Amino acid sequence: MIMNNAGPVIPTVHTVLVIDDIPANFGVVVEHLEAHAYRVVIAQDGEEGFQRAVFVQPDLILLDVMLPGQDGFAICRRLKADARTSGTPVIFMTALSEENDKLAGFDAGGVDYVTKPLCISEVIARIDTHIKLHAMQKQLQLQNRQLQRYRHELEQHVAERTAALAAEIVERQRTEIALQESERQYRSLVENTPDTIARYGKNCRRVYANPRMIDDLGGDVAQVLGCTPSEYPGGESAAAYEVRIRQVFADARPTDFELTWQTAEDRQVVSYIRLTPEFGVDNRVVSVLAVGRDISEIDHYRRSIHRLAFYDTLTNLPNRALLADRMREAIVDASRYGYRFALLLLDLDRFKEINDTLGHGMGDLLLYATAERLQQCVRTADMVARMGGDEFAILLPQVHEIAELSAVADKIVRSFEQPFRVSGRELFISASVGIAKYPGDSADIDGLFRYADSAMYHAKKQGRNNFQFYARELSARSGERMALEAALRHARSNGELELYYQPQVELPGGRITGAEALLRWNRREGGRVTPDKFIPVAEESGLIVGIGEWVLLTACLAAVQWNAARSMPFKIAVNLSTRQFLQNDLLATVRRILQETQCKPQWLKLEITESLLLDDSDVILDMLNAFDAMGLELSIDDFGTGYSALSYLNRFPVSQIKIDQSFVRDIPGNQDKAELVKAMISIAQALRMELIAEGVETQEQADYLNRHGCLAAQGYLFGKPMPHAEFEAYLAGNGQ
């Protein structure tokens, strides 16, 4: 090992890349090169040699001229053209001895030649020489670059120093002028700024105040300067301000805060104040600089935004967000102290009728009056909030007994017994209340809202105008309904819906005149779902509109098929939902389906409910008149089960009434029902209307109906509801 003054010098191991396709040639070379402490890398063709040269970065390359594919000259030119290997010396190995071959090698970028058969000593000597020469070239290049950099840096430094010295004299002159100008600008800024600026000495007395500060404090400089804030202007805000100043003197740290105070003109101002310590030569606080900015307008906007975010603009009650915050606080307190609390959700019954009848302005006034009445029903610590629409919430933060909770809920419900005086009118309205308890029903906010909501809707189903506590089965029913609705949304696209047809016949002969289309749902998971379960869900969710359109289309296709070879019309009766009249352009839908299916109007009967007619809407009347003008027959389904009023029978273009099966079921044995059926038949005859009875199951019932003038019927006596194919077979079996 070689030693020098800096310590041991580790010899450099040089790498030689040998590119030769004949192992016998490079075997001897490798052996001798490694014996001379060279690291040898081998490649057996030009492409491999190029890739290894790029990767290994050898100190020298021994390159055979005669290689498969590209010859050594071409490989050498690639190496010299690549920035990564261009500086690596290349010595050609060749058996060629022509002068032109050697010139071609030098032209390709080679630095030397060794001829085959190789003389190892000559090869070693040439390799040593060129590696040393290459190293010296690199060293010389490095030294030249360093000399160029040193020269450039020196010239730059001299130029910069010369310029600095030249500018220093000018700068000193400018500095004096700038200082004078800066002092003038600073004084102008301080004296004309809308901010208040003051400086306080160690005893918290003002030693400086700008004109704005003096004006806000009354305009008397003698009173303002030399006094502490608590001395002048005095008061609670000034005392708190002085405490802050003393704290900055003690802590030697700046601080900022908001302060609400009164000016000399008795104007309330909200200021954002920044107190900054000023240090002396001993690094101790010698004074405090106070800068105050009037943010009264910002504070006003901030309060407005807060009110918009957390309060209802109509009733001024807290909104859902603020209620949720209070509930989070109640949960923390309940967990810490073992309290129980309750959430009540209240919904006004039939509020929509007031909005629709008297207008939204009157509805808003009623909501405001409701908010006031609810606040009178609860304690100061309780919170009444408006959730939106006609829904309110009451948070009772501490509830000790269920009886206490029942008493509050009962008081709220009973408070609606008194009419509301709104714009000189008396309005009567009731409320339904749902109650969820913490932690008995749920320990989280979302759960309490969800369960109180379930209880509230249960109260509505119990007849409204009452309160109900949450029970576990309500969630189960709600979950089942949600699952049913979710499945129903895909029932049509999944092909799960099907129409059944129940025959309608003449009395007494029994000739089949038509059929009623009845919807069935063959749920993919869960099997058959009865109409009494899924129809209400479809109505409430609005899915009945799309489903009803599918029913109408399918029924019209069946009517076209079954009327193809008939001389007498074979009518298909289709039930229409009230929501179909209200939520889409039903008239255009019916026209389109009749046109698409080529179904004639006389083949179709539309069955509607009494409740639709009782709304007494001109829009409904116009639509029904349009159906009548098209030649469609209109029938009142389940006649006598709703709020029957004879007046609408003349007002609307109804041609048939349908006696509900609840009346037919008990005749002729039940005298009351029998008399009601006779009365309905008399009404239809007096108004020259057709009549059909449903639910006829015995011959005795059919005979009674026929004897008293009802000439059409449907029911299990004549045929059960059947799918399309089975109904076709039924028609064929009856000679039709």
246-271 confidence digits (pLDDT tens):
999 999 999 999 999 888 888 889 99
In the structure, what pLDDT confidence band is assigned to residue 351 with cuts at 50, 70 and 90?
confident
| Mean local confidence (pLDDT), 676-705 | 88
Residue 94's DSSP bridge partners are 115
Q: Decide which of 644 and 104 is more confident.
A: 104
The string of pLDDT tens digits covering residues 502-526 is: 999 998 888 899 999 999 998 887 7
- pLDDT computed for residue 567 by the predictor: 82
Rounded to whole angstroms, the Cα distance separating 611 from 626 reads 19
| pLDDT at residue 482, as a whole number | 77
Global pTM reads 0.48
- Using 50, 70 and 90 to split pLDDT, how confident is the model at 446? very high
Instruction: Kindly indicate the confidence band of residue 348, based on its pLDDT and cuts at 50, 70 and 90.
Output: very high
pLDDT at 647: 61
* CA contacts within 13 A on the Cβ side of 278: 11
Overall size of the chain counted in residues: 736
Residue 736 confidence (pLDDT) above 80? no
Percentage of the chain with pLDDT > 90?
35
Distance between CA atoms of 483 and 160, rounded to whole angstroms?
82
Amino acid identity, residue 20?
A: D
Average pLDDT over residues 587-613: 89
Q: What mean pLDDT do residues 283-289 have?
A: 92
Q: Are 695 and 719 in contact (CB under 8 A)?
A: no
Decide if pLDDT at 2 tops 60.
no
Does pLDDT of 9 surpass 50? no
Given a cut of 50, is residue 159 above it in pLDDT?
Answer: yes
| Confidence band for 102, pLDDT divided at 50, 70 and 90 | confident
pLDDT at 616: 58
Name residues whose C-beta falls within 8 Å of residue 41's C-beta, 6 or more positions apart in sequence: 15, 16, 17, 18, 52, 56, 58
Which pLDDT score, from 0 to 100, does residue 640 have?
66
Mean pLDDT of 159-172: 81
Q: Counting beta carbons within 10 angstroms of the beta carbon of residue 495, is it exposed (0 to 12), middle (13 to 18) or buried (19 or more)?
A: exposed
Residue 568, helix vs strand vs coil: coil
Mean pLDDT score of the chain? 86
pLDDT at 119 over 80: yes
Query: Residue 222 and residue 220: Cα distance in Å, rounded?
Result: 6
441/399 Cα distance (integer angstroms): 14
Which helix H or strand E contains 283, and what residues bound it?
none
Domains detected in the chain: 12-142 (3.40.50.2300), 193-300 (3.30.450.20), 311-470 (3.30.70.270), 484-733 (3.20.20.450)
Query: For 70-100, how does the pLDDT look when each residue is reduced to its tens digit (9 = 90+)?
Result: 888 999 999 989 989 888 999 998 876 667 7
Mention every residue, 6+ apart, whose C-beta is less than 8 A from residue 71. Answer: 46, 65
Confidence class for position 192, pLDDT limits 50, 70, 90: confident
Determine the pLDDT at residue 252: 92
Confidence of residue 285 (pLDDT cuts 50, 70, 90): very high
Confidence at residue 279, expressed as pLDDT on a 0 to 100 scale:
93
Q: What is the torsional sign of CA 609, 610, 615, 616? A: positive
Q: What is the pLDDT of residue 641?
A: 66
Can you give the pLDDT at residue 278?
Answer: 93
Mark out the alpha helices in 311-350 (DSSP H runs): 320-337
φ/ψ of 582, rounded to 5, equals: -95, -25
pLDDT value of position 3: 47
- Give the β-pairing of 7-9 and 633-639: unpaired
Residue 576 neighbours by CB distance under 10 Å: 21
Rg (CA), the chain: 50
- Looking at the predicted structure, is the pLDDT value of residue 308 above 60? yes
